[in-house]
A and B are shown apart, each in its own frame.
Chain A
Amino acid sequence: MKIIPIILILLTISIILPCQAQTAAEWIEKLDKQMFYQSAEYTALMTVHSPGGTDRYFRMQGKVVGDQFALMEYLDPPRQRGTRYLKRDDNLWIYFPRQDRTMQIQGHMLRKGVQGGDMSFEDMTESSSLLEKYEALLIGETDTTVTIMLESHDMTVSYPFREILIDKRTVIPIRIVNSGVGRMPIKEIITLATKRFGDRIYPVSTEIRSLLVKDKWTRFDIEEMKFGVNFPEDTFTKKMLER
């Protein structure tokens, strides 16, 4: 279930580029472009915090190729172990090892909120560029950051308004605020920590925080990450999903 944020993280991973003053669209394009990488393999720990409840932990392992293919598997807790998600382009499947059953998340099912409407499966499969659906406006700039407002007139997007605070130096989004139709903020995504991998810097700790429900957040901590992995050809197939 929690692959979504992983993809979001990966979406936000970017290559450090030296930069000059640029337009909002250029910033987004850069973000978009720099998100793209050939391949990666990671393990991560997800902490789900519910208000008043205890934190729940999920450990997962994933393989990603561009924005086309992804395979994710839960390692922990035991109850979830072996549950896998496969994304191929816009298709998403879930495999449940206990029932030995594979389910495709399709059509309007993609719309259904995962975890009480916070996010949908759709978010998991979305692979189009932000600029395809949003108009970008530069609404603030400091020496080190720019703030860009993404606005969509297409009401099929989950968040018609997204405000992104970008670190100019690293082109890493420091904070993203997603808002609904009436511009009411719904949640924010915050980069808590970054790490250098060779010549690149990536966010390795990200928190998604609800702006409507008090004290509800989910954090992703990447424990290990490897770029430029060559996966066997059949890695992103249903055969491997159900293996």
Chain B
Amino acid sequence: MIALRLAYRNLRRNRRRTVLTASALTVGLIVLITMMGMLDGIDSQSIDNLIYYDLAHVKGFADGYLDEDFPDLEHTIPHADSLLNIVRNLSGISAATERLEIIGMLIQGSEEVFVRIIGVDPAQDTDVFRTLEAVRSGLTISTDEPVALIGDRLASDLSLNVGDVITLLVRSAPGAFNPKMLPIAGIISTGHPAVDRMTVYVPLAVARDMTLLPEGATEIAIMASKLTYSKRLMDKLTQILPQLEWRSWQTLADDFIQLARMKRTGNGIIIGIIILVAAIGLGNTMIMSIHERTREIGALRALGFNSGLIWRIFVLEGFLIGLFAGIIAVVIGVAILVYLGHTGISLAGYGDMDIGYPVRDAIYPIVNVASVAMSFVFGLVISVLASWGAARHAARGQIVRALREGML
């Protein structure tokens, strides 16, 4: 108690110094909180994009399909419709659909580009994915009529518009080339760069026709009833339909998750340096504080304060600076995040640059309590650590010297 009071009073007495020291730490923590909020925002947007435009909650593939580097028609699900019916009747599943993905070329005039061509079932794809609802101009796919939807980035890269006719060149599953000419019904914009930049959607029937797989699909995509998939559901699927390989979005998004983690570490290092500088400042302040108060420390020791108590006074000073800095940083940081969460951070300035996340247009930071709390605790820990050495020095000094020379 007395240690806390002494620590607090000393900070108040040296208000200017305390504020300066805390400010450095506050700035570091604000940067940390904002950065974390941005990364949390990107993560959550990315995950939404991945789930709703690409991965669903769980997907089932034909054996061997996942071993290939590219979607490949040698490992498709032959009677996907009947399997889908079985899946749909399982409990714990809110929706399911099938998709047929082909790698092919989109040809228009003198342009040809690699694209993913995804056959979607117009009747049930929207139960699982939001892709077909992401049409920005034109019409979506709602029947088996042979039309295509293409991503807005792809459209602008190739100067394509609704109504233009494109040629898709693919090899059928047996191997024969099977080009198709399709009019563009609509242009979609999802915010998932892989979708917007290199994907063409066609009705499942058309894709089946192109691949010569009348009942085929490359995947069965499932939305679980609960927001997150459960291990139980995966086990159930594996048990009931062992002929398929089942994967959760977490597994499928592994690359992304690794990347996100890496980016976090990368950013962490930069922020770590900022905070280290702040911590050095804090440690320095503590050394100054102790230096000025050497006689006082000697007197307290003479009065019977033990070295542990002296140590505690100074560590508490550091802790209080950290607490003060942390509270301010949380208030300001959260305010920044809330504000940016509203306005969004536009990625327009970056043009078509790939930021490595399945996110585009704008980042919307979010306030993740765990991240904010972590940053706050991190600030406290750093403060305590920074004052630790100085406090130890104060606690260990010779009393007699402290009193006589004002030196420890």
Contacts and interface: CB of A to CB of B under 8 A. Distances in A.
Given A108-B72, A212-B169, A155 B110 contact: no
Given A157-B175, A186-B177, A215 B169 contact: no
A117 interface: yes
Interface of B: 72, 74, 104-105, 107, 109-112, 114, 167, 169-172, 174-181, 212
Given A181-B176, A181-B178, A186-B177, A212 B107 contact: yes
B111 A51 contact: yes
B177 A155 contact: no
Given A155-B212, A212-B167, A117 B177 contact: yes
Given A116-B105, A117-B104, A213 B112 contact: yes
B177 A156 contact: no
A181 B167 CA distance: 14
Nearest to A53: B110
A116 B176 contact: no
A184 B168 CA distance: 12
6 contacts: A52-B110, A117-B177, A180-B179, A182-B179, A186-B177, A214-B109
Interface string A160-197: 10000000000000000000111010100000000000
B111 A212 contact: no
A156 B175 contact: yes
B48 to A, nearest CB: 33
Contacts of B111: 51, 213
Interface string A115-139: 0110000100000000000000000
Given A156-B176, A180-B178, A215 B110 contact: yes
A122 B171 CA distance: 13
B122 to A, nearest CB: 22
A143 to B, nearest CB: 34
Given A51-B110, A212-B167, A213-B110, A155 B175 contact: yes
B110 A159 contact: no
B110 A117 contact: no
Interface in A27-62: 51-52
Contacts of B178: 180-182
B213 to A, nearest CB: 11
Contacts, number: 71
Nearest to B110: A51
Residue of B105, B110, B170, B177 ringed by the most chain A CB atoms within 10 A: B177
Contact of A156 (B104, B105, B109, B174): B174
A154 B177 CA distance: 12
Interface string A85-109: 0000000000000000000000010
Contacts of A238: none
A172 B107 CA distance: 31
A117 B105 CA distance: 7
SS class, residues of chain A in contact with chain B: loop
Contacts of A122: 175
Given A113-B171, A212-B169, A181 B177 contact: yes
A81 interface: no
Nearest to B74: A108
A156 B178 CA distance: 11
A155 B176 contact: yes
A108 B70 CA distance: 12
Contacts of A214: 109-110
A158 B169 CA distance: 12
Contacts of A157: 175-176
Contacts of A117: 104-105, 169-171, 177
A156 B110 CA distance: 28
A52 B107 CA distance: 14
Contacts of B107: 212-213
Nearest to A181: B178
Nearest to A152: B176
A113 B114 CA distance: 11
A28 to B, nearest CB: 19
B385 to A, nearest CB: 50
A111 B177 CA distance: 11
Contacts of A113: 171
A51 to B, nearest CB: 3
A180 B74 contact: no
A158 B112 CA distance: 19
A159 B212 contact: no
A-B pairs, 3 with minimum CB distance = A51-B110, A155-B174, A214-B110
B177 A180 contact: yes
A101 B214 CA distance: 41
A15 to B, nearest CB: 31
B116 to A, nearest CB: 14
A111 B110 contact: no
A111 to B, nearest CB: 6
Contacts of A155: 172, 174-176, 212
A92 to B, nearest CB: 16
B108 to A, nearest CB: 9
B169 A186 contact: yes
A137 B194 CA distance: 46
B180 A182 contact: yes
A216 B112 CA distance: 10
A108 B175 CA distance: 10
A181 B172 contact: yes
Contact of A186 (B72, B110, B179): B179
Contacts of A213: 107, 110-112
Nearest to A187: B177
Contacts of A152: 176
Given A212-B167, A213-B111, 18 more contacts: A51-B109, A52-B110, A113-B171, A117-B105, A122-B175, A154-B174, A156-B174, A180-B169, A180-B177, A180-B178, A180-B179, A181-B178, A182-B179, A184-B179, A186-B179, A213-B107, A213-B110, A215-B110
Nearest to A212: B107
A152 to B, nearest CB: 8
